[in-house]
């Protein structure tokens, strides 16, 4: 989810002068500076057995084998080895095959709709197999380590599997047809253009990128430039989706909204929120650099802010955390404020300070000062 007009607790734009930011985002930093290859390029260099006519189970078995090879190769790359000749049939091809096949019975996210999106059926996200992009540009409103000097190459996909009543991007998240159709070739062109313009990363967002994993991995397959891949998501993907992503995403920008399932159900109409999103944060944290976002909501300190921050402190202590204060009522909260009286106003300065103080007490809020 992209938050417009973001304000940050990251206080200095010269963040890379700060040793702590640099060490916590070291992989991302090295790829951004072209000192290391992005993970998707490493995937392209790992040969895959040809598995024509193979079942989904066989493809996943091969994926498991190659994931182990990837781990070893990543360590070598980190140590300085750079043998990255592109294989004719690679780990990334396998990921693309799997992603396309999964659309026959979609389980990209925990709604687990099992609809055949390849045959035009739609699930909760209301998307068939066609990916649509509402806009793409270099975004200067993201966290300073992502924006740096030339911006974050942000691609806004339409559609979402959440129904957040306060969504700031409702005109694209809730209207899946509100964009231009793109296939993997077009997406690769967009990514190449963003890199040419100087973007420091490719920022997949929406709406929500998860329903478009097939096009995103296909786009990487056709991309021949080195640039870090950033996953800017509500983190409601399935374990299978996380398995496809964890070897191609260089930096995660997850959104941890709610500290319990009741608030998630009432405000985003999504079940089993906490367990799923917590699990995916753990997977992401074990597989890459990460900046976790938590948007503070009015009147949700005890039920959401507090448990989310406590969970992060216990489970992802190495992640940078952005405690966001820019909430404003939007979308259904404006249309029906009587239904959502708890969040029908902006935050007070006391609420903002309370959230920051608690995060600081847990050792979380990160304020790089040059
Ligand atoms: S991406 Fe999620 S919401 Fe959309 S069809 Fe697949 S399982 Fe359902």
Residue 87 domain flag: no
- Tell me the pTM: 0.95
Averaged pLDDT score across all residues of the chain: 93
Q: Assess if residue 256 is contained within a domain.
A: yes
Q: Is residue 144 part of a domain?
A: yes
Could you tell me the distance, in angstroms and rounded to a whole number, from the CA of residue 309 to the centre of ligand 1?
28
Helices (H) and strands (E) in the chain, counts: 15, 8
Res. 170: pLDDT tops 70:
yes
Q: What is the rounded distance in angstroms from the CA atom of residue 292 to the CA atom of residue 143?
A: 11
For 172, the token pair is 């694209």
- The answer to whether residue 141 sits within a structural domain is yes
Q: What domain range includes position 208?
A: 15-38+124-361
For residue 131, being part of any structural domain is answered with yes
- Looking at residue 128, what is its pLDDT? 97
Ligand 1: atom nearest CA of 210 is 1
Q: Tell me, what's the pLDDT at 12?
A: 41
Domain membership flag for residue 55: no
Reported as a single tens digit per residue, the pLDDT across 267-281 is 999 999 999 999 999
The count of domains in the chain is 1
Is 137 among the domain residues?
Answer: yes
Identify whether the C-beta of residue 165 lies closer than 8 Å to the C-beta of residue 340. Answer: yes
Calculate how far, in angstroms, residue 42's C-alpha sits from the geometric centre of ligand 1: 28
Q: CA 170 to CA 206: how far, in whole Å? A: 10
**Mean pLDDT of the region 167-182:** 95
Q: Is residue 369 part of a domain?
A: no
What mean pLDDT comes out for the span 16-45? 91
* Window from 122-126, 178-182, 355-359, 365-369 with minimum mean pLDDT: 365-369
> For residue 228, which of 205, 251, 246, 207 has the smallest C-alpha distance?
251
Here the CATH number for the domain that contains residue 33 is 3.20.20.70
CB of 125 within 6 A of ligand 1: the answer is yes
Q: Is the pLDDT of residue 365 over 80?
A: no
């Amino acid at each position: 989810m992209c938050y417009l007009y973001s304000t940050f607790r990251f206080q200095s734009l010269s963040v890379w002068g700060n040793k702590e930011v640099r060490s916590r985002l070291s992989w991302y930093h090295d790829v951004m500076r072209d000192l290391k290859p992005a993970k998707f390029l490493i995937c392209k260099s790992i040969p895959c057995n040809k598995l024509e006519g193979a079942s989904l189970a066989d493809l996943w078995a091969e994926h498991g084998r190659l994931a182990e090879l990837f781990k070893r190769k990543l360590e070598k790359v980190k140590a300085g080895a750079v043998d990255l000749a592109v294989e004719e049939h690679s780990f990334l091809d396998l990921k693309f095959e799997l992603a396309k096949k999964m659309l026959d019975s979609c389980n990209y996210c925990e709604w687990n709709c099992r609809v055949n999106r390849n045959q035009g059926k739609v699930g909760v996200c209301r998307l068939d197999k066609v990916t649509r992009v509402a806009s793409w540009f270099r975004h200067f409103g993201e966290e300073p380590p992502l924006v740096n000097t030339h911006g974050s190459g942000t691609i806004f996909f339409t559609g979402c599997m959440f129904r957040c009543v306060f969504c700031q991007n409702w005109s694209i998240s809730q209207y899946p047809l509100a964009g231009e159709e793109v296939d993997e070739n077009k997406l690769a062109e967009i990514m190449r253009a963003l890199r040419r313009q100087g973007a420091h990363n490719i920022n997949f967002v929406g709406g929500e990128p998860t329903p478009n994993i097939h096009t995103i991995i296909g786009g990487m397959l056709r991309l021949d430039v080195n640039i870090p891949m950033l996953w800017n998501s509500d983190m409601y993907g399935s374990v299978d989706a996380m398995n496809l992503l964890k070897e191609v995403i260089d930096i995660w920008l997850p959104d941890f909204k709610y500290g319990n399932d009741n608030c998630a159900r009432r405000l985003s109409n999504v079940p089993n929120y906490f367990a799923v999103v917590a699990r995916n944060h753990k997977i992401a944290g074990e597989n890459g650099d990460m900046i976790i976002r938590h948007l503070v909501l009015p009147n949700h300190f005890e039920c959401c802010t507090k448990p989310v921050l406590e969970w992060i402190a216990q489970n992802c202590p190495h992640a940078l955390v952005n405690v966001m204060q820019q909430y404003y009522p939007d979308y259904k909260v404006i249309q029906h404020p009587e239904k959502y009286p708890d969040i029908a106003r902006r935050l007070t300065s006391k609420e903002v300070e309370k959230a920051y103080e608690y995060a600081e007490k847990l050792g979380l809020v990160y304020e790089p000062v040059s």
